[in-house]
Amino acid sequence: MCGIVGVVAQRNVTPILLEGLRRLEYRGYDSAGVAVLADDNHLQRVRAVGKVVELERTLEATPAVGCLGIAHTRWATHGKPAEHNAHPHVSDGLAIVHNGIIENHSPLRRKLTDLGYVFTSETDTEVVAHLMAWHYRQTPDLLTAFRNTLAELQGAYALAMVHEDEPQNLYCARMGSPLVIGEGSGESYIASDPLALLQVTDRFRYLDEGDHARLTVDGCTLWDRQHSPVERPVKRYQHAALSLDKGEYRHYMLKEIFEQPEAIGNTLSGILGDNHVLTAILGPDAESRLASVDNIHIVACGTSYHAGLVARYWIESQVGLPCQVEVASEYRYRTVAVPANTLLITLSQSGETADTLAALRFAKDQGYLATLAICNVAGSSLVREADWRLLTQAGPEIGVASTKAFTTQLVALLWLTSALLQVRGRAADQVAANVAALRQLPALIDQVLALEPAIAALAERFANKHHALFLGRGPHYPIAMEGALKLKEISYIHAEAYAAGELKHGPLALVDENMPVVSVAPSDSLLEKLKSNLEEVRARGGQLITFACETVEQPGADGDTIRLPQVDDIISPILYTIPLQLLSYHVALVKGTDVDKPRNLAKSVTVE
Ligand code: G6P
């Protein structure tokens, strides 16, 4: 999704801007652009459709050199991907980049058109550029004009602006979309994601809603939404451990799949005791408040939603608490019945997903006992706004298709299940068993990763396929859903997941020799039921691909079964995720798609 980078320095900023944009590429975008103030104080704007490399080529032909600049990667919302719609947008000596959506752009466009402004794009952002220019005409003080502009905007934005009249200053503001200020020595930066700036700094100030700022080479001045000066603390970026390079791997996704043992190990470190879980991680009053939780609501999007669905099985079966799981885009717009003593959990890799964040904000007025964010990004909006936070330590996840963020979320949710048991003083044996099972996970995942060559061979079967079914039962049903999501995201094969017992209520009609049916068949209490379902598929000529426990007798057709180690049932959904990730990855290779940046998708969906 859209990305912003801005720099004010005493050297040419274009290389820093371009490197920042390259680091944001993983988020998904369709065009890119920069605006740089030249030494003679005139703005040079260069934009290109396609990847950042296209922008670089255009810049070779039309260089933009200067000490102040802003840059943007655009993911089209208003207006198709085209150079004239790419940011920055300009008006009367100023340039603006914007993430988010200006909801009242239509009336503003009409007003500005009546005032004589001519629009060259279909974007909501150009409205902001002209509005800013108009306010600056009324009030020739750039900060006041900037504030007057912000006061007219409805919707979500992270904005950055430069003006030919103030070649030392970079202005920015945040409302509903993430923005950070980076501190350098003798230079200052902004970005929509700290990752964009890690090549120049690891020190960041995170803006609050309504904050706006003016940056110079000496630092920044910040104001809150009431225009009062504020300080936001400088924080060191915490994701140094797992590197941003692809290393020996062909794709980030593959690297991230293989990082899972380490990511899970990092997530577990500091939250497990010898045979119990450390609840103090949630804060001093966590024990007593967790003990009074009677209900749980989990809200999330995409892959994170699937993690919530698995947790429901764990929480209801082990703790006996009712647990409801919902996608954030639905939850935020409905009337929610919240029983007394309900804990709201939001799950998110990025902590910036617009619907999940809006759901958390909506939940604040719904009478929840407390809100908990389980998230992979320490400084994210979700983490800052929830009452409690539990950080997964997956490290930066670059591939759009989420992998290690998902399995570390599951680990955090199993920790939470154990914590809920423990604070109730119940089932110490179960807690100890969960802790032991969690500790075994990194080594078990290493064993499953070793199956990659066999899974790669199976992937060839999908070369000419257009559809696939994924089946699972119990907590492995959401794992089947996650497997189907991975396959469709990166290979563009239409994939659907079914609870295996539902097969005969419709999807069986689709089964023939052209329909691969992937099933997750661990050795659990539902195995015999699942085997019957697979027989139904086999009888109709369906192509069975089965991931089964090594102790299980032939659950699928000959040669189509991949064997996984036998493990404690509770961690089985985590383990069975791994081969499905590898399968999707290798099918995408067979199909020749852009694995890390699948078409039309964004890593972090910061607009509704
Ligand atoms: C996008 C990503 C998915 C992700 C979802 C939720 O759709 O492409 O991989 O699962 O957003 O993101 P979050 O950061 O909230 O987990």
Apex 377 CA angle, 341 and 497, nearest 5: 70
What CA–CA distance (Å, rounded) separates 486 from 585?
A: 8
Please check the confidence at residue 365 and state whether its pLDDT lies above 90: yes
Quote the tokens at residue 50.
């396609």
Ligand 1 pocket by Cβ (under 6 Å): 301-304, 348-350, 353, 356, 400-402, 601, 603-605
- Say how many Å lie between the CA of residue 401 and the centre of ligand 1: 8
- Residue among 298, 329, 605 to mutate when testing ligand 1 (max atoms within 8 A of CB): 605
Task: Provide the whole-model pTM.
Answer: 0.76
109-123, 158-172, 282-296, 332-346: which has the minimum mean pLDDT? 282-296
Domain termination site, one of 207, 237, 267: 237
128 & 275 share domain: no
Using CA atoms, how far apart are residues 565 and 567, in angstroms rounded to an integer? 6
pLDDT of residue 581: 98
**CB 555: neighbour CB atoms within 10 A?**
21
Distance CA 296, CA 268 (A): 23
Residue 538 CA to residue 216 CA, distance in Å, equals 68
Residue 554: pLDDT band with limits 50, 70, 90: low
How far does Cα 291 stand from its chain's mean position? 31
Q: Is residue 599 included in any domain, yes or no?
A: no
Contact 581, 562 (CB under 8 A): no
**What is the C-alpha to C-alpha distance for residues 345 and 370, in angstroms, rounded to an integer?**
9
Last residue of a domain, one of 449, 479, 496: 449
Extract the tokens encoding 352: 């910036």
**Using 50, 70 and 90 to split pLDDT, how confident is the model at 243?**
low
| 413 and 559 belong to one structural domain | no
**Mean pLDDT across the chain:** 92
Residue whose CB lies within 8 A of the most ligand 1 atoms, among 331, 382, 603, for a mutation test: 603
3-state SS, residue 147: helix
DSSP 556: S
Ligand 1 atom at minimum distance from 304 CA: 16
Strands (DSSP E) found in 259-412:
295-300, 323-327, 342-348, 370-375, 388-391
Same domain, 535 and 568: yes
Residue at token pair 């020749």: 592
Q: Are residues 78 and 35 in the same domain?
A: yes
d(CA 293, CA 284): 16
Amino acid at 401: A
Does residue 247 belong to any structural domain of this protein?
A: no
Residue 527 sits at the vertex; the CA angle it makes with 511 and 295, to the nearest 5 degrees, is: 100
Rounded Cα gap, residues 83 and 564, in angstroms: 50
Question: Is 474 part of a structural domain of the chain?
Answer: yes
Minimal-distance CA residue to ligand 1 atom 8: 603
Considering the domain architecture, whether residues 169 and 189 belong to the same structural domain is answered as yes
Tokens of 462: 């999908």
Does pLDDT of 494 surpass 50? yes
Using a pLDDT cut of 70, give the percent of the chain over it.
Answer: 97
- Residue 310 sits in a domain whose CATH number is 3.40.50.10490
68 lies in some domain: yes
Confidence label for 38 from pLDDT (cuts 50, 70 and 90): very high
Q: Give distance in angstroms: CA of 303 to centre of ligand 1.
A: 6
Q: What pLDDT score does 555 carry? A: 58
Q: Residue 302 CA: which ligand 1 atom is closest?
A: 10
Return all residues near 598 (Cβ < 8 A) that are at least 6 apart: 400, 401, 489, 490, 492
DSSP character string of 73-127: EE--SSS-S-GGGSSPEEETTEEEEEEEEETTHHHHHHHHHHTT----SS-SHHH
316, part of any domain: yes
Give pLDDT tens digits for 70-95. 999 998 877 888 999 999 999 999 99
User: In testing the pocket of ligand 1, which one of 252, 327, 349, 600 has its CB within 8 Å of the most ligand atoms?
Assistant: 349
Same domain? For 367 and 260 the reply is yes
The domain boundary, picked from 449, 471, 496, lies at 449
**Which of helix, strand or coil describes residue 7?**
strand
| Residue 120 CB coordination number (10 Å) | 11
- The best mutation among 26, 304, 327, 382 to test binding of ligand 1, ranked by most ligand atoms within 8 Å of the C-beta, falls on 304
- What pLDDT is recorded for position 559? 45
What is the rounded distance in angstroms from the CA atom of residue 339 to the CA atom of residue 316? Answer: 16
Q: Is 313 left (phi over 0), alpha (psi -120 to 50) or beta?
A: alpha
**CB-based contact 347:323 (threshold 8 Å):** no
Q: How far apart are CA 232 and CA 223, in angstroms?
A: 10
Which residue's CA is minimally distant from atom 7 of ligand 1?
302
Same domain, 135 and 88: yes
More confident site: 148 or 243: 148
Please report, rounded to a whole number, the percentage of residues in the chain having pLDDT higher than 90: 74
CA-nearest residue, atom 2 of ligand 1? 603
Going across the sheet that includes 561-564, the strands are 494-499, 467-472, 516-521, 543-549, 561-564
Supply the CATH number for residue 145's domain: 3.60.20.10
Indicate which atom in ligand 1 lies nearest the CA of residue 402: 9
Q: What distances in angstroms separate CA 273 from CA 418, 429, 600, one per listed residue?
A: 12, 14, 44
pLDDT at res. 242: 58
SS3 label, residue 419: helix
Shared domain for 290 and 204, answered yes or no, is no
* Distance from the alpha carbon of residue 226 to the mean position of ligand 1, in angstroms: 33
Residue 423 structure tokens? 């604070």
At residue 283 the predicted structure's pLDDT band, cuts being 50, 70 and 90, is confident
Cα(397)–Cα(376) distance, integer angstroms: 9
User: What's residue 466's pLDDT?
Assistant: 93
Q: What is the pLDDT of residue 378?
A: 76
Same domain, 160 and 50: yes
- Torsions phi, psi of 187, nearest 5? -155, 155
Residue 537: per-residue pLDDT: 81
Distance, CA of 514 to CA of 194 (rounded, Å): 45
Distance, in Å, from the CA atom of 472 to the CA atom of 498, rounded to the nearest integer, reads: 7
Structure tokens given for 368: 């929840």
Secondary structure (H, E, C), 500-517: HHHHHHCHHHHCCCCCEE
Range of the domain at 166: 3-237
Residues 377 and 498 in one domain: no
Q: How many domains does the chain have?
A: 3
Q: Which residues are catalytic?
A: 2, 603
> How many Å lie between the centroid of ligand 1 and the Cα of residue 478?
16
Atom of ligand 1 nearest to the CA of 350: 14
Tell me which residue has its CA closest to atom 15 in ligand 1: 348
- Among candidate residues 88, 91, 40, 85, the one with its CA nearest the CA of residue 67: 40
583 found inside a domain: yes
Q: How far, in Å, from the CA of 406 to the mean position of ligand 1?
A: 10
- Asked if residue 505 belongs to a domain, the reply is yes
232 by Cβ neighbours in 10 Å (0-12 / 13-18 / 19+) ranks as middle
Sequence-ordered list of residues with C-beta below 8 angstroms from that of 445, at least 6 positions apart, any chain: 260, 261, 264, 407, 574, 575, 578
Q: Which of 164, 147, 588, 207 is nearest to 399 (CA)?
A: 588
CA 588 distance to own-chain centroid: 21
348 and 285 in one domain?
A: yes
* pLDDT higher than 80, residue 133: yes
306 located within any domain: yes
**Which atom of ligand 1 is closest in space to residue 300's alpha carbon?**
15
Are 203 and 275 in the same domain? no
H/E segment holding residue 472:
strand 467-472
